[in-house]
Amino acid sequence: MNLLLLAMRLATLSPGQDHGADNSWARAIRVPQVTQPTLVAVELDTHAFRHGKGDQSDIRVKTASGDPESLLVRRPTQTRARLVATDFQGETVSAGPVPGGGFSLVLRLRPGQPRPYSLRILTPLRDFEKRVLVEGIGNDNKPGVLAEGVIADYSSLADFRVDAIRFDAGQYRQFKVTIDNPTDRQESALRELVRRSGKPNLERLQVTTRPFRVDRIEFTGTAESLDNDQPTWDLVPARGLTIRQDPVARETVYQFETDYRPLVGVELAGAEGSFRRSVRLEIPDKVRGAKGWKTVASGMLSRLSFQGDTQESTRLTFPETRHGTMRLVVSNMDSPPIQATSLRLLVPRVEILFMASPGQAYRMEYGDQRARGPAFDTSGIDATLALGAPPSPATLGPPSPLETPATPESREEVFPDPSSDHAHGSGENAPGTSYFQPWVFGIILLVLGAVLLASLAQAAARMDGSNPDESMKTEGEE
């Protein structure tokens, strides 16, 4: 039975079990002076991204005596305001005919409604043409002309309709809209043939008159929309950028280094002219032992410049990815290459949160590619964040090697796939971590086999009614 206990003891051993991160870099954390436990935030920089794991599971915050502190890794967010076009209806003050023919409405903006820059006259009628005058009414009740235009519908001739008038509202909050000639004289497309006895045939044209009906008038203005929990990112120039033209594939290749920072987008800078091109983002990949490239994102970039007005969409966004070397490939087809001078990267911010005590010195360690994510109690951090108080910013000192760090070149040879857990170094099976040791399990199997054979021999001896020790003796010993 001693052999069986030994085998069970060996089976409980786990050579790959994590007993803490064996990091290669340490950096002092410059914490502001505090008089009580305070939540602080440390933003990671290029060095931490370049030498640390992709999921930041190797990062440890320790005191001067080496005791670890509970920490939380997060991507800070912010509330961003953006302007969006919105349609709304004002309050109708009065409506009625005007001298000389015509019809007018006086509209007033409600409190909180934005300043309009155009209005639409909604009517169910077809085949019309009307002149519209838009005036602003100030506190002195004197109208001022803002815009004059035509609304029309030519459904019987073409699929064309215009019902909006643009104007500059200025500081006006009340407007007068005048529509000329509120009735139409419409000629029917059907002519009536009149027959009279003894007289030539006559054609009689049917003419109908209808009122011009206005269902409602809508204003269009710009309102502010708040996007909550938007990731905070920085727009930084790409390092080591090379631009190469491939005349055979008819492509322009922008190759750059990221220093293993996480990316959520790339942007062409300095582009000129008008263009619309398909692009793809690629990372190194090994196919049958040969170095190649793998596409991780694709899209369309465009720029339109006409008569001094420029509209461009030169940014390709994608889910967060992390790799050392990347390239943006622009398909030129038979058109000349895009004249872009540089490339910028959208890098999300990553920060470490922990509770700092007064008079305590802290350092941050990282760099162990085999580290497993710690299980810290972050209830104090979560409670502080729930109160809405922003953490106090802290900065990192220069890096000091604890041992020879893993070079990025050695990691580059692996060519990880960012869509898998290995590329981000997340999970228990991160690159460089092995929890299955064949030689250990081989020894365990041999020991268990020996125990099993001994047990079978003892059982067989008992069934024969003999002493197994005596049965093993030789005839000479008897």
Q: Are 391 and 41 in contact (CB under 8 A)?
A: yes
Contacts 24+ apart (CB under 8 A), 449-454: 450/3, 451/3, 451/4, 451/7, 454/3
Taking the model in full, what pTM does it have? 0.55
Q: Are 353 and 74 in contact (CB under 8 A)?
A: yes
Q: Show the tokens assigned to 449.
A: 């086999």
Q: Show the tokens assigned to 358.
A: 């007064």
Q: What pLDDT tens digit does each residue of the chain (478 aa) get?
A: 444 444 444 434 434 344 468 899 999 999 999 899 999 999 999 999 999 988 899 999 999 999 999 999 998 887 777 788 899 999 999 988 888 778 899 999 999 899 999 999 999 988 888 899 999 999 888 889 999 999 999 888 888 899 999 999 988 999 999 998 755 555 544 455 555 555 665 555 555 667 788 889 999 998 877 766 667 888 889 999 999 999 999 999 999 999 899 999 999 988 888 899 999 999 998 877 788 899 999 999 998 887 677 788 899 999 989 888 999 999 999 999 988 888 999 999 999 999 999 999 999 999 998 998 889 999 999 999 888 888 999 999 999 998 644 444 445 433 334 344 333 333 333 333 444 455 556 677 777 777 777 777 777 777 665 544 544 444 444 4
Residue closest to 448 by CA, chosen among 149, 5, 100: 5
Distance set, CA 231 to CA 125, 347, 348 (Å): 48, 10, 7
Q: Are 230 and 292 in contact (CB under 8 A)?
A: no
**Residues in a beta bridge with 345:** 236, 266
pLDDT of residue 459: 72
- 429 contacts: CB under 8 Å, gap ≥ 6: 421, 422, 435
> Residues in the chain, how many?
478
Instruction: Give the type of residue at 467.
Output: N
Q: Are 371 and 21 in contact (CB under 8 A)?
A: yes
Q: Is the dihedral of CA 375, 381, 386, 390 positive or negative?
A: negative
CA distance 56 to 369: 10
pLDDT of residue 422: 38
CA distance 129 to 162: 10
Q: Give me Rg for the CA atoms of the chain.
A: 39
Distance set, CA 334 to CA 251, 258, 275, 303 (Å): 10, 31, 12, 18
Distance of CA 126 to the CA centre of its chain: 45
Which domains does the chain possess? 1-16+435-478 (no CATH), 18-76+350-424 (no CATH), 84-224 (2.60.120), 233-348 (2.60.120.260)
pLDDT of residue 441: 61
Q: Show the tokens assigned to 134.
A: 């838009």
Q: Are 51 and 24 in contact (CB under 8 A)?
A: yes
DSSP state, residue 403: S
pLDDT of residue 451: 74
Name the strands in the sheet holding 128-137, side by side, starting at the edge strand that comes first in the sequence: 91-97, 103-108, 174-179, 128-137, 143-153, 161-162
Q: Show the tokens assigned to 416.
A: 């990880």
Residue closest to 357 by CA, chosen among 18, 90, 98, 39: 39
Residue 349: burial class (beta carbons within 10 Å; 0-12, 13-18, 19+): middle
Q: Show the tokens assigned to 262.
A: 């996480």
Q: How many CA atoms lie within 13 A of 212 on its CB side?
A: 26
